[in-house]
Structure 1
Amino acid sequence: MKQLTTEEHSRFSRHLSLAEIGESGQQKLKNAKVLVIGAGGLGSPLLIYLAAAGVGCIGIVDDDVVSLSNLQRQVLYTSSQVGQKKIEIAKQRLQDLYPEIEIHLFNTRLNADNAGELLAPYDVVVDCSDNFATRQLLGRETQQLNKPLAFASVMNYEGQVTVFNFNDGPSFSDLYPNVPKDGIYQSEDIGLVGVLPGIAGSLQANEVIKIIIGYGEVLSGRLLVFSLLENRFNLFSI
């Protein structure tokens, strides 16, 4: 296991002061490998907080470029970066934040042919995608590989967050056994208040950190549903 450097002791001093994390927990973060599917609205805050927390290796799967309409919610990017590859910008941003981090870039879309190979080396997988087909594929592949899947989805003013395949807990198919009757919507078809994916992505990052370190109550078997209109958070059993 990689040990913390003197600089990392200073960088993560607030984590080291927490009994639930401490040095052993911070070392687990440093040695963890997390794969993130999607570097958009959910992926932006999640990637920032995972790097800031000291996750040592992050893989990013995304083949998109920055567009002007992304900037309302995708806080990794700036106006001067419109037209540039998201994964390349994300890598530079995360390395600026935590220079010791190892970043793996996959300029592709997840599909049935590459999913197994992409997911296999990682300890935790995070679904920051924006379409049901990718979510369904991720759910199936992570279940087969028995890898924890931190899941979130957002629409309008409402978000959902949960964790699948954790300690024999429910899988994606337990919550979504079939394709929705109204079909598979695309993200550009729906309205979305900008702060919503920021909140959901941050909650995902929190679940990933808990999974890696092993403290607290992971959202396995429970679905957190929240509405920003009413400031309402509810937990449902899966």
Structure 2
Amino acid sequence: MTPDRLNRFARHIVLPEVGGMGQDRLARAHVVLVGMGGIGNPALQYLAGAGVGRLTLVDSDTIEASNLQRQTLFREADVGRAKANVAAQWVGRFDPALNAEAHVLRITGANAREIVRGADLVLDGCDNFATRLAVSDACVAEQVPLTSAALGRFQGQVANFAGHREGQPCYRCFVGDAFDAEDCDTCADDGVLGAMVGMVGSFAAMHGLRALLEGVTTLGDPQWGQLHLFDGLKPSMRTMRIAKDAACSGCSGGQQ
């Protein structure tokens, strides 16, 4: 690393759990972020802040005034613009050394594999089950680890999945095929607190860093297949282990 990059990431490098090797790994890493909304905003900010060298940002939506209460990358002047484009431009201003590419499209079963292929990690913070399951199936097929983050009112969920590995569950093992549809509760219907979204998105970024640095540093166990549940009202967190489904159509050869 050049002297200016060493200075920028000095607080990371002095951590024994990250160090120079870990920072170099992050600089060479490619992360695909699916959904540049409430979860994607803070996740992107902290992944870019950590120096993840290549970021692919995927979202088909445009910015609305109601997003500004929690999607802190955006301004009033951005209303009507594509979220992925504005987020990529933010990365360029924040750290020109990073490579951020925007894809203004919706991920489906037809294009998901092409989008995630070759990535070191996918972080999914989208808002519907159909997209989540398409992303999960693509990650299994392309052997890419997945960090999944979701939020409903004051409950957050974050988990790392490696369904392509022997004995490890995928996201479809967790929710099953019944949710392979467009219907989903929305923030517009249920409401959402901006600070709660920030907490879940930040934890997702941290969990994603664990996955990226697995086997390189001692940052921690990625905790594959363990679902972390946040209750923002108490507040509290509990963890549950997701079992691999032997009949899963995503990672166990079952029929979709």
TM-score, normalised relative to structure 1: 0.94
Matches within 5 A, 1:37-186: 37-165=34-162, 168=166, 169-180=168-179, 184-186=183-185
Shift >3 Å, 4+ stretches: 180-183
The Cα of 1:123 is off from its aligned counterpart by 1.0
RMSD (Å) for aligned C-alpha atoms: 1.7
The Cα of 1:27 is off from its aligned counterpart by 0.4
Q: Distance in 2 between matches of 1:181 and 1:5?
A: 47
Partner amino acid, structure 2, of 1:216? G
Q: Distance in 2 between matches of 1:153 and 1:140?
A: 17
The alignment-based identity, stated in percent, is 32
Which residue of 232, 235, 239 maps to 1:235?
A: 239
Q: Deviations over 1:196-235 (max 9, x none)?
A: 2211111111111111122302131211001111101101
Unaligned runs of 5+ in 1: none
Matches within 5 A, 1:214-233: 214=214, 215-233=219-237
Secondary structure class of the residue paired with 1:88: helix
Partner amino acid, structure 1, of 2:154? Y
The Cα of 1:6 is off from its aligned counterpart by 1.2
Q: Distance in 2 between matches of 1:113 and 1:140?
A: 11
Q: Deviations over 1:40-71 (max 9, x none)?
A: 00000000100010000000011211100101
Unaligned runs of 5+ in 2: 243-256
Partner amino acid, structure 2, of 1:222? Q
Q: Are residues 171 and 129 of structure 1, via their aligned partners in 2, closer, same or farther at CA, if it must alter by over 3 Å?
A: same
Partner amino acid, structure 2, of 1:184? D
Q: Distance in 2 between matches of 1:59 and 1:156?
A: 28
The Cα of 1:83 is off from its aligned counterpart by 1.1
Q: Distance in 1 between matches of 2:181 and 2:3?
A: 54
Q: Deviations over 1:18-48 (max 9, x none)?
A: 0111111000000000001110000000001
